[in-house]
Structure 1
Amino acid sequence: MNWFLLQTDNDFYVRLCFTFIPTLCDKFLPILQLNTLTIKYIGLGLLAFALIWTIIAQGHRKKSWRIGIDTETKTELITAGIFQFSRNPIFFGMIVSLVGLFLTTPNALTILFLILGHILIQIKIRLEEEFLTEQHGQKYTDYKQKVRQLI
């Protein structure tokens, strides 16, 4: 298949990739139907939204901020602010950013990142929710019934 027949006039990034790394770019398998300026702008909008959303969520965590599951430090359960809409707003922001990345550069590699990222985030959510159920008991169980996992 001729690579140049697949390209469109707005396909600057694919051409740039092909110019510098032709064999690698062919492996990315660009999804040309999604490679439009409108979809790229939607992707950039999602990336900006995800960044702002995640910063707000981190701010609402206050002193409960941690990385991973910390069994040694007891933190309070945050249910206010953005956490009243999502039990996992930071993970939601990460998923939105993966969707935004895919839309700005629609190819096989970014869709793989999106799929694997979503799977790994779901695993992480399940582990953290088990931990939070153990740490906060009925309070967290009640919170889970009121607030959706992502949004």
Structure 2
Amino acid sequence: MFLKIPPPIFVVIALLAIYGCKLFLPLWQFKTLWIIVIPLIIIMMTIGFSSVLALSKADTTISPFTPEKTTRLVTRGIYQYSRNPMYLSLLLLLIVAVFISGELSSFFVVITFVLVINHYQIKPEEKALMHLFGDEYRNYYLHVRRWL
């Protein structure tokens, strides 16, 4: 079962929830640690752009809704380190938002994001890719981590 909400929309909802935690569920506030935030933003952007570029170069779909339209299994570049670098970059965006919000309770949103994306998006994608690419994907699955 795929997530009915596109992952970027789910991220927007998560960003709003992070802001909501700061307003309505303040547990423990901390100062924004820009020394952490700035490098995370650079890493997030590098991973995000690298993943889209790798899929574009391979002339395959980037749509999370149509893994069956994938024409080629991309295993090079950023994909040799993570099977899901686009979702990893979205996760880093949420972590950056938590550090900027300065509210510890916001980490619950990040944990929820990982659980939901894993269950409703990544696992169905993996199943579709296993069906499409068979042993080639199985070997990739066994050697490259889901997130990092």
TM-score, length-scaled by structure 2? 0.73
Q: Which amino acid aligns with 2:84?
A: N
For these two proteins, the number of residue pairs brought into alignment is: 125
Match of 2:140? 143
RMSD of aligned C-alpha atoms? 2.2
- Seq. identity, %: 20
Q: Which amino acid aligns with 2:101?
A: T
Measured at CA, do residues 41 and 138 of structure 1 come closer, stay the same or move farther in structure 2, by a change above 3 Å? same
Equivalent positions of 1:2-41 (< 5 A) are 26-29=23-26, 31-32=28-29, 35-37=30-32, 39-41=33-35
Higher RCO by CA contacts (8 Å cutoff, separation 6 or greater)? 2
CA distance in 2, matches of 1:138, 1:116: 31
State the structure with more CA Rg.
1
- Is 2:88 aligned against 1:100? no
Of 81, 84, 89, the match for 2:85: 89
Match of 1:134? 131
Measured at CA, do residues 79 and 71 of structure 1 come closer, stay the same or move farther in structure 2, by a change above 3 Å? closer
Note the C-alpha offset of 1:68.
Answer: 1.9
CA distance in 1, matches of 2:26, 2:131: 45
TM-score, length-scaled by structure 1? 0.71
Structure 2: gaps spanning 5 or more residues: 1-20
Measured at CA, do residues 61 and 36 of structure 1 come closer, stay the same or move farther in structure 2, by a change above 3 Å? same
Match of 1:45? 39
CA distance in 2, matches of 1:81, 1:116: 28
8 Å CA contact 2:22, 2:106 repeated in 1: no
- Is 2:51 aligned against 1:57? yes
8 Å CA contact 1:58, 1:65 repeated in 2: no
